[in-house]
Amino acid sequence: MDTDDKMQQLSKEQLINIINWTRNDLRNAGMNRNLNDYVRGWCRMLVEAVEYQVDKAYKVLVKEEE
């Protein structure tokens, strides 16, 4: 079973936890002075990308509820 199939089996709470752990790990890596600037910048960009996707999905949800 691949990762996509496994994700389909997880609960909403489990998926939210995974997203939050990922954001926290990326945020921490983005501030880790032991990593080079390129890696820290890439991690910060990925945090922004995840948050952008969450915001985009939320806006669609709110629109559907109107």
Task: Give domain status of residue 38, yes or no.
Answer: yes
Rounded distance between C-alpha atoms, residue 21 and residue 7, angstroms: 15
Rounded distance between C-alpha atoms, residue 15 and residue 21, angstroms: 10
Task: Give domain status of residue 6, yes or no.
Answer: no
Task: Give domain status of residue 5, yes or no.
Answer: no
For residues 31-53, one letter each, b for 16 or more C-beta atoms within 10 angstroms of the residue's C-beta and e for the rest, the string is eeeeeeeeebeebeebbeebeee
| Digitized pLDDT (tens) for each residue of the chain, 66 residues in all | 999 999 999 999 999 999 999 999 999 999 999 999 999 999 999 999 999 999 999 999 998 888
Number of H helices, E strands in the chain: 3, 0
Task: Give domain status of residue 1, yes or no.
Answer: no
Task: Give domain status of residue 21, yes or no.
Answer: yes
Check residue 38 and give its pLDDT: 98
Task: Give domain status of residue 3, yes or no.
Answer: no
The count of domains in the chain is 1
Check residue 28 and give its pLDDT: 98
Check residue 64 and give its pLDDT: 87
Check residue 65 and give its pLDDT: 84
- Tell me which residue range forms the domain holding 23: 11-65
